[in-house]
Amino acid sequence: MKKLFLWGLPLLMAVFACTSCSNQSKKEASGEISGDLIIFHAGSLSVPFKQIVDSFKTIHPNVRILREAAGSVTCARKITELNKDCDVIASADYEIINKLLIPEHAGWNIKFASNEMVIAFDEDSKYHGQINKNNWYEILLKEEVTYGRSDPNSDPCGYRSVLLTELSSAFYNDPGIRSKLLSKDNEYIRPKETDLLALLQTGTIDYMFIYRSVAEQHGLKYIILPDSINLKKPGLADFYATAEVKIHGEKPGSFIIQQGEPMVYAITVCKNAPNKQAAYEFVKYLLKKNKGMKIMEQNGQPSVVPSYTKTYDQLPEELKEFANKNQTSL
């Protein structure tokens, strides 16, 4: 009996191996994707991306998705400076991909959503019953009031907050707004805008500069700002461009001049993506109107798909339907 068992064991192992090979071949033939999918994304995408990932996994259950949320500049530097593996990166500013990742680490980008800047608060914030779109900077400058913003060198929301203050100086015809606001409450600067939520909820700060979508996703009260300073309207791009801020560049000691412009999120697949097949499937799922973009819009981040990209000719054919070569679009 023992000899019979030993004789049959190799046969069983061979049958098992053939079955495994057959199953793997069927998966490959059907286009089924698997393995780890690494996504770096802006902190302001945390809520919709969790929902999109959960929905994506119902179709592709064999993919294990690893998400890392951070300021978009920090996300890019994880790739350029730390050489971390990444399949997909979604930035709160399409220029981060253009300036820090293309052409060495990525070949293209696609714009997919918009947003706007607001000032969030809660029922315990000082003067919350008085603040409005005309006096908000006067309220924030009161000695007893504290406000928070994110780090311009780590997070687009941070440098957009700075750009907003400069635009406000021109819009309200008060040259001191920018310098006064930026010299106040610097102890409440954090790496990304979502890091400020706990400070607001605990009463450590009264107000914060943040994206409207994040304020809505977390049930915060907020002030809607004039279009001339909220960085929302494509038609005001020329006025937005009159403001600029200097932030750290790709290499230590280098700098980038970031001009004001309408807020647009973008996505790309890294050139060295470990799982390109899954990466492209996820990007397609995100950009489809009735899939990922539906979830984005439900979370207060309107779709801009399809939009113009100067990298259109570098796009894979399967993604060109989600972008425009025509520069008259976004």
| Each residue's pLDDT tens digit, 234-291 | 889 999 999 999 998 777 788 889 999 999 999 999 999 999 999 999 999 999 999 9
pLDDT reading at 2 higher than 50: no
Q: Which of 211, 235, 259 is the last residue of a domain?
A: 259
Cβ atoms of 118 and 223 within 8 Å: the answer is: yes
- Chain centroid to Cα 288, Å, comes to 17
DSSP state of 97: I
Residue 129 sits in the same domain as residue 104: no
pLDDT for res 5: 45
Q: Into how many domains does the chain fold?
A: 2
pLDDT reading at 9 higher than 70: no
Residue 94 sits in the same domain as residue 219: no
Q: How confident is the model at residue 123 (pLDDT cuts 50, 70, 90)?
A: very high
The CATH number assigned to the domain holding 236 equals 3.40.190.10
pLDDT for res 329: 57
pLDDT reading at 19 higher than 90: no
The verdict on whether omega for the bond into residue 103 sits within 30 degrees of 0, i.e. cis, is yes
Residue 178 sits in the same domain as residue 128: yes
Residue 163 sits in the same domain as residue 213: yes
pLDDT for res 27: 43
Residue 12 lies in a domain: no
**Phi and psi angles of residue 165, each rounded to the nearest 5 degrees, phi first:** -65, -35
pLDDT reading at 22 higher than 50: no
Q: How confident is the model at residue 26 (pLDDT cuts 50, 70, 90)?
A: very low
The range of the structural domain enclosing residue 101 comes to 33-114+264-324
Residue 85 sits in the same domain as residue 171: no
Separation of alpha carbons 209 and 159, rounded Å: 11
Task: Summarize the confidence of residues 294-303 as an average pLDDT.
Answer: 95
What average pLDDT does the structure give for the chain? Answer: 91
Task: Summarize the confidence of residues 218-228 as an average pLDDT.
Answer: 96
Separation of alpha carbons 301 and 116, rounded Å: 9
* 189 beta partners: 149
Separation of alpha carbons 131 and 127, rounded Å: 6
Residue given tokens 């397609």 in the structure block? 284
Give the percent of the chain with pLDDT over 70: 90
Nearest to 295 by CA among 213, 224, 220: 213
pLDDT reading at 113 higher than 90: yes
Residue 124 sits in the same domain as residue 250: yes
Tell me the chain's radius of gyration from C-alpha atoms: 24
Cβ atoms of 225 and 193 within 8 Å: the answer is: no
| Each residue's pLDDT tens digit, 151-170 | 999 999 999 999 999 999 99
Residue 296 sits in the same domain as residue 170: no
Task: Summarize the confidence of residues 74-92 as an average pLDDT.
Answer: 96
Residue 167 lies in a domain: yes
Residue 123 sits in the same domain as residue 253: yes
Residue 67 sits in the same domain as residue 143: no
pLDDT reading at 78 higher than 90: yes
Cβ atoms of 264 and 93 within 8 Å: the answer is: yes
Residue 4 lies in a domain: no
